[in-house]
């Protein structure tokens, strides 16, 4: 049974905030040098507190990927609202795994955005 049906219906108390243009947040050298191929990249669960309070938002996470495919330095680059979804987003990215990189030791400043909207989480 999906978690959302165990919690009851999601009742938003605010509108979904306008998300950023993530492409504009990526610099010319960010996450360049090898292709990322995810082995394991689950989305975070919608946090219980924000779900119960009907909160919505988004989080942009920056992270590094080392040559063995492990993720390091997952951190919030931007979030609206700041706080309620940050931990779930960074924890999820920290647990991601990629295929080993070709020809580079590290890909720096890779970017992903999570939308926490209407009780569901999507990767953008």
Q: Which two tokens stand for residue 6?
A: 């165990």
Distances (CA, A) of 80 to 39, 60, 103, 124: 29, 9, 36, 15
DSSP run (H or E) holding 115: strand 106-117
pLDDT of 4-32, one tens digit each? Answer: 457 889 999 989 999 999 999 999 999 99
What does the angle CA 61 – CA 122 – CA 44 come to, to the nearest 5 degrees? 65
pLDDT for res 5: 52
2 pLDDT higher than 80:
no
pLDDT for res 114: 98
Report all structural domains of the chain as residue ranges with CATH numbers, in order of start. 29-123 (3.30.2420.10)
Residues of the chain by 3-state class (helix, strand, coil), percent to 5:
20, 35, 45
For residues 3 and 66, the model is more confident at 66
pLDDT of 59-100, one tens digit each? Answer: 999 999 999 999 999 999 999 999 999 999 999 999 999 999
pLDDT for res 3: 54
pTM, to two decimals: 0.91
1 pLDDT higher than 90:
no
Q: What is the CA radius of gyration of the chain?
A: 15
């Amino acid at each position: 049974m999906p978690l959302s049906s165990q919690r009851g219906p999601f009742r938003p108390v605010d509108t979904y905030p306008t998300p950023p243009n993530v492409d504009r947040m990526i610099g010319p050298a960010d996450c360049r040098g090898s292709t990322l191929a995810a082995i394991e990249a689950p989305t975070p669960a919608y946090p219980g507190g924000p779900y119960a309070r009907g909160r919505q938002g988004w989080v942009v996470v920056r992270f590094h990927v080392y040559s063995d495919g492990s993720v390091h330095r997952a951190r919030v680059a931007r979030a609206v609202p700041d706080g309620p979804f940050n931990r779930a987003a960074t924890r999820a990215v920290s647990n991601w795994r990629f295929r080993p990189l070709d020809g580079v030791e590290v890909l720096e400043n890779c970017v992903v955005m999570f939308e926490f909207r209407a009780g569901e989480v999507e990767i953008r």
